[in-house]
Amino acid sequence: MDARLDTRTSRYHETYARWQRDPLGFWGEAAAEIDWLEKPKTVFDAKAGIYGHWFPDGVCNTCFNAVDRHVDRGRGEQAAIIYDSPLTGTKRTITYHRLLTEVQVLGGMLRDLGVGKGDRVILYMPMIPEAVFAMLACARIGAIHSVVFGGFAARELATRIDDATPKVILSASCGLEPGRIVQYKPLLDEAISLATHKPQACLILQRPQSEASLLEGRDRDWARMRDHALVHARSAWDCVPVAATDPLYILYTSGTTGRPKGVMRDNGGHMVALKWSMQNLYGIAPGEVWWTASDIGWVVGHSYIVYGPLLHGCTSILYEGKPIGTPDAGAFWRVIAEHGAVALFTAPTAFRAIKKEDPQGKLMARHDLSKFRTLFLAGERADPPTLEWAEALLKVPVIDHWWQTETGWCIAGNPVGLGLLPVKHGSPTVAMPGYDIRIVDEGCREQPDSTMGSIVVKLPLPPGCLPTLWRADQRMRESYLEEFPGYYKTADAGFKDEDGYIFVMGRTDDIINVAGHRLSTGGMEEVLASHPDVAECAVLGIKDELKGEVPCGFIVLKSGVNRPATEIEKECVALIRDKIGPVAAFKLAVTVARLPKTRSGKILRGTMKKIADGDAWQMPATIDDPAILDEIGSALKGKGLADNRPA
């Protein structure tokens, strides 16, 4: 048996104890895996920043570590990226040497557009190699990239443009979904028209599936500019030195107010943490083929499609397709077998979809998965039935792990590289080195084993986590650090058992998790409230067999409205799709006469969710009118949802 997969030989406990005894020595040793332009003399400065800075006097470049050093050490002909797109019928292998050339050229193009160290560049792109080139090119010249998922609507993109104030935006003419083309350029044009900040230039990659019209004076054709830059890219051949604490990227996550939060990632700590995780957590060796089936618009794509595997010298698969429908539920097995992937990292949603389409796993039998040894799941809670199904089908370890956009890498997991620990279904296992996880009540008092509470992390956070929010230090404190002094608030609730295993049971705020995408119900409520016939509304996440959670909107109509409620509900669904995008998966609006509230006016969302989910619930002591809950139950029953009586 591979020692990494033998639960009797795990080095986790001694490794975690070593970190506890000497955290600075632990991370100083991990930092030796990075090529520094100036090695840090200080591992951690507790007096700097919001809660301290990692490697504050180090000087580095992330692109050099992800690309150049592998070429310099003789790995130039190894595949860095395998692009596999069943949506276009395209496959392409990009070696580290070719990747270096492409990034140098694009770095020169960005320089020609006036982008320099510290400038922001927004990427609004599909899952194509040029998106990876763009991220690395920004890192190469010291610019700060902010990737916006292509599924977001124009208004969402506009808010990010105004917050990041990019000098340049990189986009493509279109993205692809099964059976349809998503026109990106009109969305980009509308977003720029809505935004107060205007970029100096837009670089547009014309895809053969759809060509976009370019705005004279602002828009540049990617291919034409690249042809010119091939001759004039020497100014970007050398990587720009940046401080370890300088920003590498901004990634926006939904805020509870509907205003997005710009999670900032630094260069030095980010590299140290991701490089450590590839070997120790995921058990992957340099040169092996690794596949993260996600999107670069999400943190998983940033960390484990692009930076983690490339920093480690792996081959990373870039997949433009779906788990089903491109062409069938055997798509994942085909990619794993064809490219020799040793591990897959994806969301539980993908496996629920595969299970629904091919419950017996008959399509897997067509493919040779002999090299495949581990499946990793994250992005949402992995339900035990899906885990058990995947284990039985694949006959390899299926590893759930838990982390957040804010942390950038795993908080709690099962460290394959250190040797597996016994799996407990429903738990992402144990805290990774760097994370001191506590379960506390509202008064920040630590809770006994197996007692539910708020999950917090004792400060300081380890390398790789957000040092702050983009240009919003006070919001960082208010959002994450003030409620539980001395701790980082994860906004997740759960418990820890007697073995130290963490069980994450749900969110404590109004962020819901739809197929691994964190979305704000507050933002959706703002959109619904903008409908002229809606007087009041509440959006909550309800259980969904496939996506984990889907949003459900309760609307109260204004008095005097005499149009059919079903007509208004359809308009509300369309409104969310238009303002937030299809990624919201908003398909259910329920008209009710009134919303249940406490006597102080707080909407009882938690009780409403239990009714919708069919869970047992108790009458809240503070409710203003108990009869309203019966009305909510009847309305949900009318939509075919659960209607349980009180426990």
Q: Where are the alpha helices (DSSP H) in 167-221?
A: 184-194
What integer pLDDT is reported at residue 529 of this predicted model?
A: 85
What is the C-alpha radius of gyration for the chain, rounded to an integer number of angstroms? 24
Q: Percent of the chain scored above 90 by pLDDT?
A: 69
Question: Domain 511-638 belongs to what topology?
Answer: GMP Synthetase; Chain A, domain 3 (3.30.300)
Contacts (Cβ under 8 Å, ≥6 apart) of 193 = none
Given a cut of 60, whether residue 128 has pLDDT beyond it is yes
**Dist CA 408 CA 263 (whole Å):** 9
pLDDT at 57: 98
Q: What is the mean pLDDT of residues 559-578?
A: 91
Helix (H, G, I), strand (E, B) or coil at 144: strand
**pLDDT band at residue 510 using 50, 70 and 90 as cut-offs:** low
CA 274/CA 280 separation, integer angstroms: 10
The span from the first CA to the last CA of the chain, in angstroms, equals 49
**Res 109: pLDDT:** 94
User: In which band, very low, low, confident or very high, does the pLDDT at 2 lie, cut at 50, 70 and 90?
Assistant: low
| Band of residue 475 on the pLDDT scale cut at 50, 70, 90 | very high
pLDDT confidence band for 647 (50 / 70 / 90):
very low
What are the sequence ranges of the domains in the chain? 3-321+401-481, 511-638
- Least confident range from 72-76, 239-243, 519-523: namely 519-523
**Does residue 571 register a pLDDT over 70?**
yes
358-367, 414-423, 526-535: least confident range:
526-535
pLDDT band at 231 (very low <50, low <70, confident <90, very high): low
pLDDT of residue 151: 67
Q: Tell me the one-letter amino acid at 481.
A: L
User: Which has the closest alpha carbon to 284: 415, 102, 466?
Assistant: 415
The answer on pLDDT for 601 being more than 70 is: no
The b/e string for 295-329 (b: 16+ C-beta within 10 A; e otherwise) is: bbbbbbbbbbbbbbbbbbbbbbbbbbbbbbbbeeb
- DSSP code, position 230: H
Residue 520 has pLDDT above 80, yes or no: no
List residues bridging with 440 in a β-sheet. Answer: 446, 454
- What was the pLDDT predicted at 256? 47
Tokens of 480: 């994450």
- pLDDT, tens digit, 9 for 90 and up, residues 151-169: 678 988 999 999 999 999 9
- Long-range own/partner contacts, residues 87-95 (CB < 8 A, 24 or more apart): 87/176, 87/177, 87/178, 87/320, 87/321, 87/326, 88/176, 88/209, 88/320, 92/129, 94/129
Residue 175 has pLDDT above 60, yes or no: yes
* Digit-coded pLDDT (tens) for 539-556: 988 888 888 888 899 998
Q: Are 9 and 418 in contact (CB under 8 A)?
A: no
Confidence of residue 606 (pLDDT cuts 50, 70, 90): confident
Q: Which CATH architecture has domain 3-321+401-481?
A: 3-Layer(aba) Sandwich (3.40)
The tens digit of pLDDT for each residue in 360-407 reads 899 999 999 999 999 999 987 787 888 888 999 999 999 999 999 999
Per the CB < 8 A criterion, the answer to whether 149 and 583 are in contact is yes
Residue 118 reports pLDDT greater than 60: yes
Collect all residues with Cβ–Cβ distance below 8 Å to 22 and sequence separation of at least 6. Answer: none
When pLDDT is cut at 50, 70 and 90, the band that residue 582 belongs to is: confident
Main-chain dihedrals φ then ψ at residue 565, nearest 5 degrees: -60, -35
Strands 588-591 and 548-557 come out as parallel
- SS3 percent helix, strand, coil of the chain, rounded to 5, is 35, 25, 40
User: pLDDT tens, 325-364?
Assistant: 999 999 999 999 999 999 999 988 888 888 888 888 999 9
pLDDT at 602: 66
Averaged pLDDT score across all residues of the chain: 91
pLDDT given at position 319: 98
Q: Give the tokens for residue 123.
A: 């990427």
Is 592 a residue whose pLDDT tops 90? Answer: yes
Tell me phi and psi for residue 520, to 5 degrees: -90, 125
Query: Above 80 in pLDDT, residue 200?
Result: yes
Instruction: Name every residue whose Cβ is closer than 8 Å to that of residue 24 and which is 6 or more positions away in sequence.
Output: 43, 44
Q: Rounded to the nearest 10 degrees, how much is the dihedral formed by the CA atoms of 52, 247, 64, 300?
A: 90
Q: Is residue 609 very low, low, confident or very high in pLDDT (cuts 50, 70, 90)?
A: confident
CB distance 424 to 7 below 8 Å: no
DSSP SS3 for 410: coil
381 forms beta bridges with none
> Using CA atoms, how far apart are residues 348 and 459, in angstroms rounded to an integer?
30
Any residues with CB less than 8 A from the CB of 528 and at least 6 apart, and which? 534, 537, 539, 553, 555, 572, 575, 576, 589
Distance CA 549, CA 521 (A): 12
